[in-house]
Copies of this chain bind each other. A is one copy, B any other.
Amino acid sequence: MTSIPALVRFDAYATLTPEDVANLIPLVGQPTKISRGEHIFHEGDPAPNMALLLDGWTASTISLPDGGRQMLKVHLPGDMVGLPGAPLDVMPDSVVALTDVTYSPIRADALGRLFEASPRVAALLFLISQEERYMLMDRLTTVGRVETPGRIAGFLLQLHARMLRQNPGIGQIVRCPLSQRDFADLVGTSETHCNRSIQELRHLRLVDWKMRQIMLLDIDGLRDLAMLPQRRVRRDQSWLPLVH
């Protein structure tokens, strides 16, 4: 593990060398602070608009003309936001702060120089992007094929696994700034039905859910409901380019 918490995602597959870290430093710009509820960018803003989250939580959302909103992902410190907009003319999603947030903008030309300076870090960025893809695939699967309690279980497990990787020792407790309204937007259901599904999870003794503190009482039971296997990352990526 590197000593820089914001780079946790990069050393999931290989220990970052001092050279790797030196190559990553120019990527991130001046830290910026925003308050809960403010946006890093809105859907429709000119692309690219990328950032590295340093502190706090954000959420990526897409809004619909009928007032509906799909929450695609919540981001933790160390996550990068705005990357899916890189190929496009305008950003496809909005990123809103769920807490007070500190982030660093990422400039596209700095990204270009990173690819040139370090094939190895570029390959790590490739792996991180593929991670985002399978996590989206898992969420599409539960939202498409599983009933609401299972969708909630699936999201909770995915979030818990991510929090564990970045902060081992949280145990089975998920502390997060998400309201039941937010959970409904995450799993694609109404606030009312989300509330009743949470009560069902409580009644099955799978979770102890009070306000914004969720204790996972029966991880295997939650996994059965979500109907998805646990994903395990493979740390030996022997194909990765070596440091020059």
A-side residues, CB < 8 A to B, are 12-13, 47, 60, 62, 64-66, 68-70, 72, 83-90, 92-93, 108-109, 111-113, 115-116, 119-120, 122-123, 125-134, 136-141, 143-146, 187-188, 227-228, 231-234, 237-241
Which residues does chain B contribute within 8 Å of A237, judged by CB atoms? 87, 108
Question: When the two chains form their complex, are residues A86 and B137 in contact, meaning their CB atoms are under 8 A apart?
Answer: no
Q: Which residue of B lies closest to A125 (CB)?
A: B126
Given the contacts A64-B146, A92-B134, A133-B84, A70 and B140 also touching, CB distance less than 8 Å: yes
Q: Give 6 pairs: A residue, B residue, CB < 8 Å, sorted on A.
A: A72-B140, A92-B137, A93-B134, A111-B239, A115-B122, A126-B126
Give A132 to B134 CA distance when docked, in angstroms.
11
Q: Knowing A47-B234, A231-B92, A241-B115, say if A87 contacts B143 (CB, 8 Å).
A: no
A12, A62, A120, A241, most chain B CB atoms within 10 A: A62
Do residues B87 and A131 form an inter-chain contact, with CB atoms below 8 A?
yes
Interface contact B227-A83, CB-CB below 8 Å:
no
- Rounded to whole Å, the gap between the CB of A29 and the closest CB of chain B is 14
CB A20 to nearest CB in B, in angstroms, measures 13
Closest beta carbon of chain B to A9's beta carbon, Å: 11
Cβ 8 A contact of A188, one of B129, B144, B241: B144
- Give bound CA distance, A140 to B34, whole Å: 28
Q: Which of A68, A140, A237 has the most CB of B within 10 A?
A: A140
Contacts A65-B227, A132-B133, A241-B112 given; does A144 touch B187 at CB 8 Å: yes
How far is it, in angstroms, between the C-alpha of A107 and the C-alpha of B186 when the chains are bound? 36
Contact A87 B127 (CB under 8 A): yes
